[in-house]
Structure 1
């Protein structure tokens, strides 16, 4: 079922009804993510999402989700644009407190809504933020960053390129002759 993403949902009620939310969401609607990504074409920047609300065999209310987008970031090596495709799959169990969260099976991450309802766009945004690497970089060899050369290597290269006839004081000698 494709529909507009509501601003607020009751995850427990949707789990009881086994509802699914599927669609796309403009990245410009996600302010925390906008602070991380590089500006690009707002008309083309969107995330696709699938949020399935259901109950497991133990009666836990779950949100199983998939989120995918191409994020436009800046490469940490060369500071050039980097289009990074990201995809995330997750299973969240709606819990009422930290004690309940600590007792969840390992396959579930806790979802502790501050209120009875939650904003599904914020859930999509959280998953996209978690998918952003700490230091985004182009693949090795694809980056246009200048190659780092240590001072020692640079001195060795200069020494190897200098001929035996070069005199470091030749410039001074030529200036002395002019006067």
Structure 2
């Protein structure tokens, strides 16, 4: 098992040798993922094992990280744990992808080597939520912590009403 993650891998050669990879990558090293993050601190834990099923090269793995995203309700930071299970079948054409077993997602290989960092980043981007939000009502919590003076605002609205003089005349019966 390799403890240091290589920049590029040859999935076919790794599968023939039944290699295993394990290590961490800094979150700040993912350029495309960084666009979605509120904070780029932390690490991503990666574990991959390469094997062959018949003539098919496959990749099994796990990716774990906790990402700091922006809550789309309150616009504050929300910590989003990711634990992704990876099951990829290495293919070189769309026809091979169609014949791939249902439990595998196709990894279309157009060159001999691929970037491990880009592979991990692609899997993380696919796992991001469309609208990250806190798992509680963050707006209600914010309002209760702010303790806004609601009654004072209502009194001000009533006194600024231009028809308040007419309402007083109507109540007293004066003409």
Identify the residue that residue 57 of structure 2 maps to in structure 1. 61
- 1:52 and 2:49 equivalent? yes
Query: Contact between 1:36 and 1:73, CA under 8 Å: does it hold in 2?
Result: yes
Instruction: Give the paired residue count.
Output: 156
Moved over 4 A (4+): 142-147
Task: Tell me, in whole angstroms, the C-alpha distance in 2 between the residues paired with 1:77 and 1:145.
Answer: 11
Task: Tell me, in whole angstroms, the C-alpha distance in 1 between the residues paired with 2:73 and 2:18.
Answer: 46
What does 1:1-179 align with in structure 2 at a 5 Å threshold? 1-40=1-40, 42=41, 45-56=42-53, 58-142=54-138, 144=141, 168=161, 169-170=163-164
TM-score (norm 1): 0.78
Instruction: Report how far residue 128 of structure 1 moved.
Output: 1.1
CA RMSD of aligned residues (A): 2.8
Question: Which structure 1 residue ranges, 5 or more long, are not aligned?
Answer: 148-157, 174-179
Question: Which structure 2 residue ranges, 5 or more long, are not aligned?
Answer: 145-150, 168-175
